[in-house]
Structure 1
């Protein structure tokens, strides 16, 4: 998912360089949404892993 956010960010940068403001804004918005979804899922995953509390396998 982070890969998708980076891809849309790069698309936004390229579009901005070539002067396509609408496309750049849309791609940047999509990248921002995907990035925040990634962060939320990461935090949920870290909390779930901490609550599960499995120790190292012996």
Structure 2
């Protein structure tokens, strides 16, 4: 999931460089959502492992 967030971030940066602001904003939003989902799953996994 982190890989997909990084891919969408790179797409957003490249789109912003070429002036596609709508695509860049959409890709950045998707990257942000995927990153926060990754963080939540990562923390949940850490907590579950700590209580085992």
Tell me the TM-score range normalised by the shorter chain.
Answer: over 0.9
Structure 1 alignment gaps of length 5 or more: 53-58
Separation in structure 2 between the aligned mates of residue 41 and residue 51 of structure 1, nearest angstrom? 16
What's 1:16 paired with? Answer: 16
Pairs aligned (count): 52
Give me the CA root mean square deviation.
0.2
What's 1:27 paired with? Answer: 27
Q: 1:32-43, aligned counterparts within 5 Å?
A: 32-43=32-43
Structure 1 segments of 4 or more deviating over 2 A?
none
Q: Shift of residue 14 of structure 1?
A: 0.2
Question: TM-score if structure 1 supplies the norm length?
Answer: 0.89
Structure whose CA Rg is larger: 1
**Cα offsets for 1:24-48 (capped at 9, x unmatched):** 0000000000000000000000000
Separation in structure 1 between the aligned mates of residue 32 and residue 51 of structure 2, nearest angstrom? 29
